[in-house]
Structure 1
Amino acid sequence: MANILVVEDDPETSREIVAELMSHGHTVEAVADGLAGIELAIGQPFDAVTLDRMLPGLDGLGFVERLRAADNDMPVLMISALGDVDDRIAGLRAGGDDYMTKPFASNEMAMRIEVLLRRHSQRKSEAASLTVGAIHIDFIKRQVSVDGEPIRLVQMEFRLLEFLARNAGEVVSRRIIFERVWGYYFDPGANLINVHIGRLRRKLDRPGRPSAIVTVKGEGYRLDAV
């Protein structure tokens, strides 16, 4: 079972989350402050975190941004009363892995944590590095280079590239990308994939070469070796 950090400032919600996770056999530590939470998340070996968006000390977006800046890829389930599409996208763009809105079903929350833990474990057991054409990806160090030149990717750009690379040469649909990269089972709109694909192309593409990321109209995207 997993060791899970709960960062939630509402006592009733915190007790509900802790009780449900413990009923599934997990060990749980709960804090009510974002600054205290990020210190624990970076300093101790947790397997996942449930994270409120609105917290004293440091809000949820700041929390997950600091976590990713520290090269910590621990799964993050954000739980918030802020449920608009733009709010959910902001949470995922900052580096969250999944997003639930309050009120929520405790058993669904626990299942989402299980899915995140399983996905994280699968990623770690896969190849430690891949080379697709001029692109080399080190999944352990979370480093990417093109023609030997290092490039810097933010959290979601790296995860999108990782998914495309592990399926190099195959067309992957937008629906599958949302499910596997963002954890969404629907298209949240706001051109989320288009924006990230555009950013990746600008960082990966080189003059005189076709783009490594191909748009297959009506079907999805494919990463080619170029």
Structure 2
Amino acid sequence: MKLLLVEDDPAMQTTLQRTLTRRGMQVVACADGARALDRWRATVPDVVVLDLSLPGLDGLQVLEQARAEQLHAPVLILTARGAVGDRILGLNTGADDYLAKPFDLDELEARIRALARRGAPNEMPGETAIFCGMRCDHDSGAVYFNGQPMELAPREGALLRALLAKPGHAVAKERLFELVFPGESDVQYEAIEVVVYRLRKKLADTGAQLVTLRGLGYLLKAQAA
């Protein structure tokens, strides 16, 4: 995924660029509104994360001009302005989503990926987006890491495919059990934990982490540095 990050706070820009790059995104960053439009035209990003308070052109001016130029990439406004009126103004100007500072990095990633899915009608059928170097070919059932097929048992593959379909989102244990053990009524419910344990070891070198959320299920997220 190609992401344009427009953020004028140096510390925030560095943190977001490092974090989102580590989570499998190609991040182009800039710190002012005029340059943002140039980068937007040149890079054709999949998603734009746009701060409102920028030198030169502010975020709303950037967004208004971009939409006037038929630059259609989905836009997530990221700003300290949290008033309802500011959110409405941003959305009416052409933004697709709005996240107020301070925010959770996992939520930011999830919102970015949701916008990318929404704005990618030409994505190849049968494949997931790449997450931590992994992608799934649903037609064959194979999961690839950095272009090479992963060695997975059938149940490990079923579990990983389900988690890769919604990275950063919790998938209920009950739903995973149905996908990993379809129609196997004689299998104990706790058997899913054995598959999770085995898959977790095989993900150790991928940069992805299989997280247990007690009472909710499991999710796949990028490992912290």
When the two structures are superposed, what TM-score results if normalisation uses the length of structure 1?
A: 0.53
Give the match's secondary structure for 2:120: helix
When the two structures are superposed, what TM-score results if normalisation uses the length of structure 2?
A: 0.53
Greater Rg over alpha carbons, structure: 2
Q: Residues 60, 123 of structure 1: CA spacing in aligned structure 2 closer, same or farther, 3 A cutoff?
A: farther
Amino acid at match of 1:91: G
For 1:77 and 1:15, locate their aligned partners in 2 and report how far apart those are by CA, in whole Å: 18
For residue 132 of structure 1, what is the aligned residue in structure 2? none
Residue 15 in 1 paired to residue 26 in 2?
Answer: no
Structure 2 residue ranges without an equivalent (≥5): 125-225
1:1-226 aligned within 5 A: 2-122=1-121
For residue 200 of structure 1, what is the aligned residue in structure 2? none
- Tell me the CA shift for residue 122 of structure 1: 3.8
For 2:16 and 2:56, locate their aligned partners in 1 and report how far apart those are by CA, in whole Å: 21
Amino acid at match of 2:95: G
- Tell me the CA shift for residue 44 of structure 1: 2.4
**Residues 16 and 106 of structure 1 are in contact (CA less than 8 Å); yes or no, is this contact kept in structure 2?**
no
Amino acid at match of 2:110: M
Amino acid at match of 1:63: V
How many matched pairs? 125
Give the match's secondary structure for 2:119: helix
**Could you list the per-position Cα deviations for residues 125-150 of structure 1 after superposition, in whole angstroms to 9, with x for gaps in the alignment?**
9xxxxxxxxxxxxxxxxxxxxxxxxx
For 1:114 and 1:20, locate their aligned partners in 2 and report how far apart those are by CA, in whole Å: 14
Give the match's secondary structure for 2:114: helix
- Tell me the CA shift for residue 23 of structure 1: 1.8
- Tell me the CA shift for residue 20 of structure 1: 2.2
Note the aligned Cα RMSD (angstroms): 1.8
For 2:63 and 2:46, locate their aligned partners in 1 and report how far apart those are by CA, in whole Å: 14
Q: Residues 43, 118 of structure 1: CA spacing in aligned structure 2 closer, same or farther, 3 A cutoff?
A: same
- Tell me the CA shift for residue 48 of structure 1: 1.2
Give the match's secondary structure for 2:71: coil
